[in-house]
Each structure stands twice: as structure tokens, then as C-alpha cells.
């Protein structure tokens, strides 16, 4: 072996795990005056730490080159994570985590980082294998972040009112599915979808009117600019007064929020077709509508989808904020504002998780349709020889 390079991450992982075996696992309970727990009393944790030392030392010399070695490292790390959680909750270390415990977490971090790194750099010509690798990286990273969140909150004994651990949020999420489903239906299906369709649809029609009638372009666009600058917090209570407490007022807020991005993008998109292509249509004596449908609207599609994607996230924000200003006793915004008052922070977080899921799914769906509808665009082109 000519190039003998030590794997730094594995080295850190091995040393940290070795030190974790030596340093005290937990702090001292002020009431009893004794250390809460010892590594020697928890065989699972001891095995996990020993494994980290052995695997870390081995891969420091061998290097982590193949996916298999990456998977082995990750497997060791996953076992370690499981034992760390068990130590926290089953052996009373929660709130009393000591130097040894955090050194072990540092060791796990080094392994996870190295393992994900190897999989992220994996390149295969087989699409199935490549896709598995592509999905594994963000999923593994996401779980790692949740684990760190859980361990930090439990290890330092952070009060639940400040930040509940993800496990608690998860339990709340699963046990209150009926409430969540009702909130989702009220806020997302009724308010967001109707407001989104109305706002984007009317702005699209208006964009074509603006394009057709020059004075609208000079008169309406600057005004629209002003409307878009209206703070949603200021508009929402007025919409509640105009359209009542139910979803209609939320839809109205969403219409105001989504209208302008759609209008501006569509107007810009309608001018995206090149001069050459317009001249081409002119040589065929193609009329306004024929040119609109055959050339200008297809050319505008990337811009239109851009607005649709921006608006998919704006609409959800608008609906939730608008519900703070008056609503029937259901809805995601209503739940967040009332449960905060009742100190049920886990429920608030469960609603935030629901909003994140719904928003991501909505955005993903629009992006998927975009990919199908504008597959000709240079950013999506697939060579089909």
C-alpha cells in the first residue's frame, strides 16, 4: 500500500467511543448525591460502545471505500442510537446525561456522517440501485436530525413547554388522528385548495386580459404590485369580517396572496416566446388566439408553473395565519393558536408537522405535474434516442 491515509471520521468515532467508556456516563442526582448510572450496569450500551471502538479502529485503517462498508458503519451507528435512547429512558439518564454519554453521541455522529457520505457519493448505472441510494441519503439524514433532537432534549432535560422531544410529538400525532383529519379537511381541502384554484385561475385569466388590452398592462400591473405588498396580517381580519368565520374568508386571503405572483409570472411568460417564433407565426397569418394557444402559452408554461409552486406554499401559510383571526372550532391555525394557550405544545408541534407534510406533498404534486407538462424544457429533458 503506497497511499496510507487514515480515515479521520472513523478515527474520531473510535477515540470518542473509547473515551465514552472511561468518562462518567451520567451526572450526579442532587437528591441522592450519587451518579445516576454506570456503563457497566447497561450491557447493551457497553456492547454498542465497544462495537464503535472496534469498527472505528478497523475502518480507520481499512478506509471506507465501498457501499458495504458504509452500510456496516451505519448499522453500527443505528445500534448505538437505539442503545443511547434506551439508556436515556430505561436507565434514568434523561436529564442527567454526562460527559461519557455525549462522547458516545459524538462518536455516533462521526459514523453517521461517514456512512451517509459514502452512500451520497454512490454512482450506479442501474437506476433502481441509484434511486435507493438517492432516497436513503435524505431519509437517513432526517432520522439522524430527529435522533439528535430527541437526545439533546432528553439528555439536557429541556422542559416540554420549550421544546418537546420528537417521540412525544409523534405519539400525539398518532393518537389524535381524528382531530388532525378534521383540521386538515377544514384548512387544506376547503380553504387552501379552493383559494388556490380561485386565486391562480383568476390571475391566469387576468394575465391574458392584461396581455390583450394594453391599458390594463400600464394601469393594473402597478396597482397589483401594491396589493401584493399588503401585509396578510392586516388583511386577514377584514376578510373575516367580510366573508364570515368559515373557510370562505381564508380562501379570500389566499386569493389575495396568490393572485399577484401568478399574474406577474404569467404576463412575463406570455412574452417569453422569441421574436423569431412570433415572426414564424406571422408568416402563417396566425391570429391572436391561434398564436396564443400554439406558441405563447406553451412557452409561458415554465413561468406559470413557477408561480404555481410559489403559491402552493403561500396558500398554506395564508390559511393558517388567517385562522388566527376567527374561525369555527376546527382548523390547523385554530388548533395551533388555542393549544399554545393551553400549553399543549406537543399538539402544536403535531399540527406544524402536519402542515409541513401537507405543504411538501402539495408542492411535490405541482412539481410532478410540471415535470410531465414541460418535459421539453431544457431543465427536464430526457434523451430518448
Q: Which residues bind other proteins (CB under 8 A)?
A: 274, 276-277, 279-286, 290, 294-295, 298, 301, 374, 376-378, 381, 383-385
Q: How far apart are CA 335 and CA 345, in angstroms?
A: 11
Extract the C-alpha cell encoding 283: 408568416
User: Looking at beta carbons only, is 19 or 295 nearer to other proteins?
Assistant: 295
User: Looking at beta carbons only, is 2 or 283 nearer to other proteins?
Assistant: 283
- DSSP labels, 148-187: HHHHHHHHHT--TTT---HHHHHHHHHHTHHHHHHHHIII
Q: Please report how close the Cβ of residue 280 comes to other proteins at its closest, in angstroms.
A: 5
User: Looking at beta carbons only, is 167 or 374 nearer to other proteins?
Assistant: 374
Q: Residues 196, 309: contact at Cβ < 8 Å? A: no
User: Looking at beta carbons only, is 168 or 299 nearer to other proteins?
Assistant: 299
Q: Please report how close the Cβ of residue 385 comes to other proteins at its closest, in angstroms.
A: 7
Q: Please report how close the Cβ of residue 200 comes to other proteins at its closest, in angstroms.
A: 21
The residue with cell 385561475 is 201
User: Looking at beta carbons only, is 142 or 274 nearer to other proteins?
Assistant: 274
Burial of 119 (0-12, 13-18, 19+ CB in 10 A): middle
Extract the C-alpha cell encoding 244: 364570515
User: Looking at beta carbons only, is 1 or 285 nearer to other proteins?
Assistant: 285
Q: Residues 202, 291: contact at Cβ < 8 Å? A: no
Q: How far apart are CA 206 and CA 225, in angstroms?
A: 14
The residue with cell 410531465 is 372
User: Looking at beta carbons only, is 110 or 273 nearer to other proteins?
Assistant: 273
Q: Residues 6, 60: contact at Cβ < 8 Å? A: yes
Q: Is the dihedral of CA 170, 176, 178, 180 positive or negative?
A: negative
Q: Please report how close the Cβ of residue 78 comes to other proteins at its closest, in angstroms.
A: 45
Q: Please report how close the Cβ of residue 269 comes to other proteins at its closest, in angstroms.
A: 13
Q: Please report how close the Cβ of residue 12 comes to other proteins at its closest, in angstroms.
A: 48
Q: End-to-end CA distance of the chain, in Å?
A: 44
User: Looking at beta carbons only, is 61 or 376 nearer to other proteins?
Assistant: 376
Extract the C-alpha cell encoding 320: 393558517
Q: Please report how close the Cβ of residue 273 comes to other proteins at its closest, in angstroms.
A: 9
Q: How far apart are CA 371 and CA 377, in angstroms?
A: 9
Q: Please report how close the Cβ of residue 159 comes to other proteins at its closest, in angstroms.
A: 57
Amino acid at each position: 500500500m503506497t497511499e496510507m491515509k487514515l480515515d479521520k471520521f472513523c478515527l474520531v468515532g473510535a477515540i470518542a467511543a473509547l473515551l465514552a467508556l472511561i468518562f462518567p456516563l451520567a451526572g450526579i442526582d442532587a437528591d441522592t448525591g450519587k451518579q445516576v448510572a454506570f456503563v457497566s450496569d447497561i450491557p447493551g450500551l457497553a456492547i454498542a460502545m465497544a462495537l464503535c471502538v472496534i469498527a472505528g479502529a478497523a475502518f480507520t485503517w481499512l478506509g471506507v471505500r465501498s457501499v458495504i462498508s458504509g452500510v456496516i458503519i451505519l448499522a453500527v451507528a443505528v445500534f448505538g442510537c437505539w442503545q443511547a435512547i434506551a439508556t436515556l429512558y430505561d436507565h434514568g439518564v434523561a436529564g442527567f446525561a454526562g460527559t461519557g454519554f455525549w462522547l458516545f453521541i459524538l462518536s455516533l455522529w462521526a459514523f453517521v456522517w461517514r456512512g451517509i457520505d459514502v452512500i451520497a457519493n454512490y454512482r450506479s448505472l442501474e437506476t433502481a440501485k441509484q434511486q435507493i441510494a438517492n432516497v436513503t441519503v435524505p431519509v437517513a439524514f432526517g432520522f439522524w436530525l430527529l435522533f439528535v433532537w430527541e437526545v439533546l432534549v432528553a439528555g439536557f432535560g429541556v422542559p416540554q413547554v420549550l421544546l418537546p422531544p420528537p417521540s412525544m410529538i409523534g405519539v400525539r400525532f398518532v393518537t389524535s388522528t381524528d382531530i388532525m383529519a378534521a383540521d386538515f379537511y377544514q384548512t387544506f381541502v376547503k380553504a387552501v385548495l379552493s383559494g388556490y384554484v380561485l386565486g391562480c385561475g383568476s390571475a391566469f385569466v387576468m394575465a391574458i386580459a392584461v396581455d390583450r388590452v394594453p391599458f390594463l398592462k400600464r394601469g393594473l400591473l402597478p396597482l397589483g404590485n401594491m396589493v401584493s405588498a399588503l401585509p396578510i396580517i392586516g388583511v386577514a381580519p377584514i376578510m373575516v369580517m367580510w366573508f364570515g368565520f368559515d373557510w370562505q374568508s381564508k380562501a379570500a386571503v389566499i386569493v389575495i396572496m396568490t393572485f399577484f405572483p401568478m399574474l406577474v409570472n404569467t404576463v412575463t411568460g406570455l412574452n417569453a416566446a422569441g421574436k423569431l417564433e412570433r415572426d414564424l407565426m406571422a408568416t402563417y397569418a396566425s391570429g391572436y388566439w391561434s398564436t396564443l394557444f400554439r406558441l405563447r402559452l406553451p412557452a409561458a408554461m415554465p413561468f406559470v408553473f413557477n408561480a404555481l409552486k410559489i403559491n402552493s406554499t403561500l396558500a398554506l401559510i395564508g390559511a393558517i395565519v388567517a385562522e388566527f383571526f376567527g374561525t369555527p372550532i376546527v382548523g390547523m391555525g385554530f388548533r395551533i393558536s388555542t393549544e399554545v394557550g393551553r400549553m399543549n405544545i406537543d399538539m402544536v408541534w403535531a399540527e406544524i408537522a402536519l402542515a409541513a407534510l401537507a405543504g411538501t406533498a402539495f408542492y411535490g404534486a405541482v412539481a410532478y405535474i410540471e415535470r410531465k407538462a414541460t418535459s421539453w424544457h431544457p431543465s427536464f429533458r430526457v434523451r430518448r434516442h
